[in-house]
Structure 1
């Protein structure tokens, strides 16, 4: 009988009858084990050496100060579609939109933030509602003209349903668009059933395909997101054929990925499959597809860590889960600033407010959010997955547990084991 000793930052995965794997989540390493007997004895031992290594890594991560400023702007909650799982829910009823006065206040705040140090990385994310509509163009014209007058470089990402991209591509290029995220949810029938335009004469699937063509032709990095759940998993083979037939996968600035749906603003009581269950169904379908058709990235927790190790790359390590606990400011048309765009419209996420022609930040609330990390969340402190998790989504921690300083945990072991088994059998 074989004996394997694991420390507090390692997990063993039984990936086949003849093969096992030990993944080290602190050092960042996979050791494959050839099994010499049917049974293994797994022992877990606390290692002070690994705890010392963890403390050193943690101090390094704490010293890293993000130079990136993330301004996420929601110019309107209005939308030209009615998607069945839209996370905004009742917010879509709000008719107010951002005007030039908002643009002036945003630029003024950016100047204040840049006053002491101008060599920061600036990133703008524009979303909605639907951000690419005629009613928002005047606001963008003024906003980005004035930002460009600051002579600072920035990245600009639009998150859009894609209905109006062709119509406004010249505007987007003038604003300096860097990347665009657009959603395609399966076959023509499935996509059009899930993502429904207000104008029922529009074929949503065809319009999105035209928009992807337009973005790629204009050399704009295009992320195509497939919001995956039980309804559209079986569409993956057909959707992969669409990508190949349109030759999108030949573009270096194209990436299509699967994102598991876990929440619906329209129906917050709806129960979705666990992430690991969705992944198992996805991988089962992958097994039936030709290798060249398995072109979807997998935005499931822990997958990017394993992919980095397999590619001999430095795995991404997290001290916090996302920009909500760093330098992120989310502006909406009601005049509030939030820490997180999922939390827009909720008081506990507010970190600032517009008064007159300027924004006033609430330093106490900002400090509270900036203090959420793997050292201040009690169930993260001794968790082996903390450096690839960062404490989990703060929005879901508040939604599910009512406490910002509770971790939102994921089934890392189940997800990673399923993925390693798939890689062993089909890669």
Structure 2
């Protein structure tokens, strides 16, 4: 029996806040994937419990709380696992909030922060009520902060993080599975001045930071890079979240929607897909270049920096699990197995 796994389930891609987040990669996926059945949700957790001693479930979306049977999904988790995390826009109503408060396993929350929410008094009131209630109930809160402009505003998110003793998980918008608004990788270096100010001010307020996605090290000078790694929790490599879509298609990472999906029907297929993707994702990091100078970069060759989020390498991939290839490494892998 294996030791532990943190596994991501996408119950639905539906969301009630699509119009506020131009960088969202999920908005075009809702009609395509629908929502996961209660039976399949239960199967996934049972398969994981049979294979691993310790299981943590991460729910993302879309907005998971919009699943039509979210109460039943919560009940299954409450009965079968000890720890779960919810990625949420925090814009659910009182009925969902009460369900969450009654859950003994839903202890951690990555709450999406979007500046536009606070331009609307009704949305702001709901957001603050929900986050206040969770915090006062002793739930652990992180703020998920997506950066989409080189002059991004951050004063309000820092104040919230300080108030709720929250870690800020930040990232620069990367490509998704659709036509989301993202920052081209060659423009990342233009974010350096504002990013450095953000990190400096956060540190002065005693706020912890961590980059949710890797950033290309070549976008920063040596001194900037040292500071951002030390004080801003910046990373050059990722540990992708293994995930499953509502239609039971497994993903190597929750952000790589078009990367090598395969639908599973039983436990053996499911567990094998997790092992296959672990190999493929790790190989893909170093098989392709995100930007022209990766090939000449010591950070890349030492496997310290993979050249930014893997989604930037997405156009180079076909689908190995449906008959295509990602790269020579994946061809060799499937030849051997």
Under a length normalisation based on structure 2, what TM-score does the superposition of the two structures give?
0.70
| Cα deviation, residue 125, structure 1 | 0.8
Shift of 1:362: 7.5
The answer to whether residue 154 in structure 2 is matched with residue 236 in structure 1 is yes
SS at match of 2:55: strand
Which of these residues, 348, 370, 382, is aligned with residue 279 of structure 2? Answer: 370
Q: For residues 138-165 of structure 1, give each alpha carbon's deviation from its aligned partner in whole angstroms, at most 9, with x where no partner exists.
A: 33244214414xxxxx431100010117
Greater share of residues in helix? 2
> Structure 2 vs 1, CA of residues 296 and 185 (structure 1 numbering), >3 Å: closer, same or farther?
farther
Of 133, 136, 139, which residue of structure 2 is paired with 1:217?
136
State how far apart, in whole Å, the 1-side matches of 2:281 and 2:33 are. 33
Deviation string for 1:169-197 (max 9, x for gaps)?
443341512311112223xxx3457xxxx
5+ unaligned residues in a row in structure 2: which ranges? 218-223, 288-293, 319-324, 330-337
Match of 2:335 in 1: none
Q: Deviations over 1:80-124 (max 9, x none)?
A: 22132211242122473223211331133113313xxx3xx4221
Q: How far apart, CA to CA, are the structure 2 residues paired with 1:210 and 1:80?
A: 17
1:226 paired residue number? 145
Structure number with higher strand proportion: 1
User: Could you tell me which residue of structure 2 aligns to residue 87 of structure 1?
Assistant: 25
Residue 203 of structure 1 corresponds to 122
Residue of structure 2 aligned with 1:383, choices 290, 298, 302? 298
Partner of 1:108: 46
- Residues 85 and 284 (structure 1), Cα distance of their counterparts in 2 relative to 1, 3 Å cut: same
Distance 2:3 2:297 in 1: 28
**Larger Rg computed on CA atoms:** 1
Q: Of residues 154, 157, 170 in structure 1, which corresponds to 2:85?
A: 157
**Equivalences for 1:34-49 in 2 at 5 Å?**
none
Relative to structure 1, is the Cα distance of residues 349 and 166 closer, same or farther in structure 2, using a 3 angstrom cutoff? farther
Tell me the distance in 2 between the aligned counterparts of 1:139 and 1:389: 41
Q: Which residue of 1 aligns with 2:291?
A: none
Residue number in structure 1 paired with 2:7: 71
Change in CA separation of 1:342 and 1:285 when aligned onto 2, cut-off 3 Å: closer
TM-score of the pair, normalised by structure 1: 0.57
2:240 aligned with 1:323:
yes
Give 1:338's aligned residue. Answer: 251
CA pair 265-191 structure 1, distance change in 2 beyond 3 A: farther
Whether 1:172 aligns to 2:97 is no
Aligned partners of 1:132 and 1:164 also within 8 Å: yes
Give the whole-Å Cα distance in 2 for the aligned partners of 1:96 and 1:231.
Answer: 35
Residue ranges of structure 1 left out of the alignment (5+ in a row): 1-65, 149-153, 194-200, 408-427
Classify the secondary structure of the residue corresponding to 1:203.
helix
Question: Are the equivalent residues in 2 in contact too, given 1:100–1:138 (CA < 8 A)?
Answer: no
Q: Between Structure 1 and Structure 2, how many residues are aligned?
A: 302
Alignment match, 1:418: none
Contact 1:237 1:293 in 2 (8 A): no
- Who is 1:425 aligned against? none
Quote how far apart the aligned CAs of 1:78 are. 1.4
Contact 2:8 2:57 in 1 (8 A): yes
Tell me if the contact between 1:100 and 1:142 (Cα under 8 Å) persists in the aligned partners: no
Contact 1:374 1:381 in 2 (8 A): no
CA distance in structure 1 between the partners assigned to 2:285 and 2:148 by the alignment: 33
Q: Deviations over 1:1-59 (max 9, x none)?
A: xxxxxxxxxxxxxxxxxxxxxxxxxxxxxxxxxxxxxxxxxxxxxxxxxxxxxxxxxxx
1:322-357 deviations in Å (ceiling 9; x for gaps): 135xxx3x122212222211233x3x43244136xx
1-structure distance, mates of 2:234, 2:207: 22
8 Å CA contact 2:147–2:171 kept in 1: the answer is yes
Once the two structures are TM-superposed, the CA of residue 263 in structure 1 deviates from its matched residue by 2.8
SS of 1:280's partner is: helix
* Match status 1:262 vs 2:262: no
